[in-house]
Structure 1
């Protein structure tokens, strides 16, 4: 890796997701260069911009994308990150209903419900 160290890149993941997901560790082993560029691009997107989306909304968008892409492990990571960033259970509910409206019960049933139940469990543990 160039001027950016692996430790600095891992810090990004730990900051936003609380861990380096196993798939990201695998990508790091597969192609350290791709891992570096992917992480830096992700870091650029998640930076705070005064007139941009909040981190909470960015994480909620990642949840919606993960549902659409049928990626439950990524969705769980982003549900956790969204809740840590301040997304409310009501905001998650509204996003899930939007999935139902736009893409139907099948998409929600494949991934959405699992992620919503995960959010409920986390909220129950944090209260």
Structure 2
């Protein structure tokens, strides 16, 4: 019984290695399946860069407020929204889509954390400018 167990484990590991090699070969374009194209966006638009600059400025503003020892409620809220916006900006999409997603997340966060929803929406509009 023990020898069957080891035989099964051995066969399973060899088949797993074979499958891994087959996948690796197909991704490298040298397997029997052929070339595989992975569709991935690896670039940023000028709008993405401009939005990231605004997000960084909002985070720097909040950090300066905290460093001065006078963090305002507004600065704390801006930090939360800018942090969300930073993650949103990493995704691909139009500024309009990112603005809507920012507002959606801000709405949920405002209900949970109790901050000013109008301020959150204005901040989303400042960070993701829709033209």
TM-score (norm 2): 0.29
Larger radius of gyration: 2
The normalised TM-score by structure 1 is 0.30
